[in-house]
Amino acid sequence: MKPLKNMKSSLWIAALLALGAGSAWADGAAALTKGGCMACHTKDKKLVGPAFKDIAAKYKGQDASAKLFDKVRKGGAGVFGPIPMSPNGPDKIGDTDLKEAIEFILKS
């Protein structure tokens, strides 16, 4: 009976972790929507700007959070093509939402 008990415990732990991950995903997705990011970006394919999965792939293995935070605030061009990204100040997306959005993007 002990292995079954351990398996049930493992399933509960996995379910709780999944709920927590779902919450983080929802927070990040909500921040992207609230900040207007979805007007130019999607998760899986290029729209006006690069897909979130392409951004995540480019910065994989790097601590790019501060760099991306700065890039969103100041805008930029040339990293993913010729179309520039306009600056997005705290009036458009607050610091907390921007940090959640960047965390979500880097995990895409």
User: What CATH number does the domain containing 87 carry?
Assistant: 1.10.760.10
Q: What local confidence, expressed as pLDDT, does residue 108 receive?
A: 83
Total structural domains in the chain?
Answer: 1
Tell me the whole-structure pTM to 2 decimals: 0.74
Q: What is the mean pLDDT of the segment spanning 95-103?
A: 95
> CA 37, CA 88: separation in Å to the nearest integer?
9
8 A C-beta contact, residue 26 and residue 77: no
Q: What local confidence, expressed as pLDDT, does residue 21 receive?
A: 47
Computed over its alpha carbons, how large is the radius of gyration of the chain?
Answer: 17
User: Strand pairing partners for 85?
Assistant: 76
65: confidence class by pLDDT, cuts 50, 70, 90: very high
Q: Which structural domain, as residue segments, surrounds residue 32?
A: 2-106
> CA 67, CA 51: separation in Å to the nearest integer?
17
8 A C-beta contact, residue 107 and residue 56: yes
Q: What local confidence, expressed as pLDDT, does residue 24 receive?
A: 55
C-alpha closest to that of 73 among 59, 88, 85: 88
